[in-house]
Amino acid sequence: MFCIQCEQTMQTPVGNGCQYAMGMCGKTSEISDLQDVLVYMLQGVSAYAHAGRELGVIDAAADAYLPQAFFSTLTNVNFDAERLVAYTAEAVATKTRLKDAYLAACTVQGVEPKQLAGAAQFEITAEKAAMISQAPATAVNRGLNDVGEDIVGLRLLVLYGLKGVAAYMEHARILSKQDDEVYGEFHRIMARLGEDPSDLNELLELAMACGHLNYKVMEMLDAGETEAFGHPVPTKVNMKPVAGKAILVSGHDLIDLKHILEQTKDKGINVYTHGEMLPAMAYPELGGKYPHLVGNYGSAWQNQQKEFANFPGAIVMTSNCLIDPNPGSYADRLFTRNIVGWPGVVHHTGDDYSAVIEKALACEGFKYDEIPHYTMTGFARNALMAAAPAVIEQVKAGNIRHFFLVGGCDGDKQERNYFTEFAKSAPDDTLLLTLACGKFKFNDLEFGDINGIPRLLDVGQCNDAYSAIQLALALAETFECGVNELPLSLILSWFEQKAIAILLTLLALGIKDIRVGPTVPAFLTENLINHLHEATGLRLTTTVEQDMADILG
């Protein structure tokens, strides 16, 4: 195995990357190899989807399937070999169908078929043993000796960014948001990656194309969520349990929570959000409608083994981030959903949650109410826009000096205390915007307000970066300046590939001087970091004192 896609990748004596029997995330070498083969197959499928599109051949089933299967290879999503083999079998069948359709269109239109190279030529039997034996040829660092680590690193920047985009495409598709142009661009980038491009400038362009694509996808997802569940409104959320039977819903897919709420409303079961599901409390059609969505339990994904073990009810994992449930002995009351998988854990399909409800009723539930402790969420696009005039007034009056966006993924490393300390040391005349699971580093703290405007504004999930971008654009318009001239600094924590997609979006939009931590992605070489720093001002976080002084000084 060789995997280097997330922030907790191993540092080994022979270079960075998880490369022995098991990655830091619990991904075995078998799963890693199956994922490499699946990804390469998908690049070949996209090659035919892209070629076919140029002749007007569109296969809606292939469009829907590809990002979904790609999503299964993100960090902490799917650890189930059987499902990965099944996705590959579907990839094989889809490629045959697309290739036949492409060749037929060439014949009808009198066009000479293209000689597609690289992944398009890759053939495989979708059986576990055959896939594992062919995995070395599909390894993500293939060609390293020929093209060097800068080119491989850039290819991985695009590949991992595109994985993040695929995840958001799938979150949007579940809400019936699909777009033909988005699919076309997705296949174009995916197909080109399958040809192992080795020109630095082309790869940088692909990275920016990926960022622009992600911006569109986040816009689609924003529309899907707000059309289905209304616009979030600032909401106070209890972070402590109350007595009664319980279901915990984690991950990003709000629609799953909606089904669970609807089906539990007369069952005497309390429902809780976990991790990235917390912002659901602020949607009128979720937290605003169902009083038995009583609050949030627990914190960010990396604490789930302890938190899930202590949760006396059923647990539904709708998307990333999943970690091994076995040490905590809660695998028998955990249900995976959508693209998530762990061998031996019940994978829940369909919209009937009776099995989850039965499990919750069979569990003990919470015995007593704990003393409530609150946080606020719901400062998404509309709420931010509604607050913008008051915010602008306070800026003009000199009461708000600076805005910080401190958010992104959370994770295990001790160095991530940087984000807690950074938020705590932000001066009283500054506003803190946050989003994604990184918010749990400080969202239980009290930050006060500036003349009625809360100093900590939780924008929502990671994809709600779209809302934060809209606020920045609105402020720039009001102050008649560019976004980079605003008194706004972005301090992002990264862990997995959705964060890479968002980072590429921000860079593609021309946002400069972003700070990223706690470490630089290991697939980016020193040369690449220097290049990105010179072009965009992107830099690594240093110490809180130093960064705060540099920003405010």
Task: Please state the residue numbers annotated as binding site for hybrid [4Fe-2O-2S] cluster.
Answer: 252, 276, 321, 409, 437, 462, 496, 498
For residue 275, state whether it binds ligand FSO (rule: CB under 6 A): yes
CB of 517 to ligand FSO, least distance (A): 14
Stretch that binds ligand FSO, among 65-73, 182-190, 394-402, 492-500 (CB under 6 A): 492-500
Nearer Cβ to ligand SF4, position 2 or 440? 2
Measured between alpha carbons, how far is 39 from 77 in angstroms, rounded to an integer?
A: 14
For residue 24, state whether it binds ligand SF4 (rule: CB under 6 A): yes
Measured between alpha carbons, how far is 336 from 256 in angstroms, rounded to an integer?
A: 11
Nearer Cβ to ligand FSO, position 409 or 551? 409
Nearer Cβ to ligand FSO, position 185 or 253? 253
**CB neighbour class for 288 (10 Å; exposed up to 12, middle 13-18, buried from 19):** middle
For residue 256, state whether it binds ligand FSO (rule: CB under 6 A): no
Binding mask 417-436 for ligand FSO (x = CB under 6 A): -------------------x
What region does 34 belong to: left with phi over 0, alpha with psi -120 to 50, or beta?
A: alpha
Measured between alpha carbons, how far is 533 from 504 in angstroms, rounded to an integer?
A: 14
Nearer Cβ to ligand SF4, position 17 or 313? 17
- Residue 187: count other Cβ atoms within 10 Å of its Cβ: 24
Q: Contacting ligand FSO (CB under 6 A), which of 462, 490, 520, 544?
A: 462
For residue 409, state whether it binds ligand FSO (rule: CB under 6 A): yes
Which residue, among 360, 342, 370, has the nearest Cα to 248 in the 3D structure? 360
Tokens of 234: 């600032």
For residue 71, state whether it binds ligand FSO (rule: CB under 6 A): no
| 461 interacts with, out of ligand FSO, ligand SF4, none, CB within 5 to 8 A per kind | ligand FSO
- CA distances, 508 to each of 9, 310, 377, 536 (Å): 26, 43, 28, 10
Cα dihedral sign, 175-296-447-440: negative
Stretch that binds ligand SF4, among 2-10, 193-201, 438-446, 506-514 (CB under 6 A): 2-10
Stretch that binds ligand SF4, among 24-32, 37-45, 83-91, 368-376 (CB under 6 A): 24-32
Specify the DSSP element, H or E, that contains 92: helix 81-109
For 178, phi then psi, to 5°, come to -135, 155
For residue 339, state whether it binds ligand SF4 (rule: CB under 6 A): no
Stretch that binds ligand SF4, among 19-27, 53-61, 269-277, 485-493 (CB under 6 A): 19-27
Measured between alpha carbons, how far is 148 from 341 in angstroms, rounded to an integer?
A: 35
The residue with tokens 């039977």 is: 245
For residue 496, state whether it binds ligand FSO (rule: CB under 6 A): yes
The length of the chain, given as a count of residues: 553
- CA distances, 37 to each of 72, 129, 392, 497 (Å): 12, 12, 52, 18
Binding mask 319-358 for ligand FSO (x = CB under 6 A): -xx-------------------------------------
Residues that bind ligand SF4 (CB under 6 A): 3-6, 8-9, 18, 23-25, 27, 32, 75
Residues that bind ligand FSO (CB under 6 A): 275-276, 301, 320-321, 409, 436-437, 461-462, 495-496, 498-499
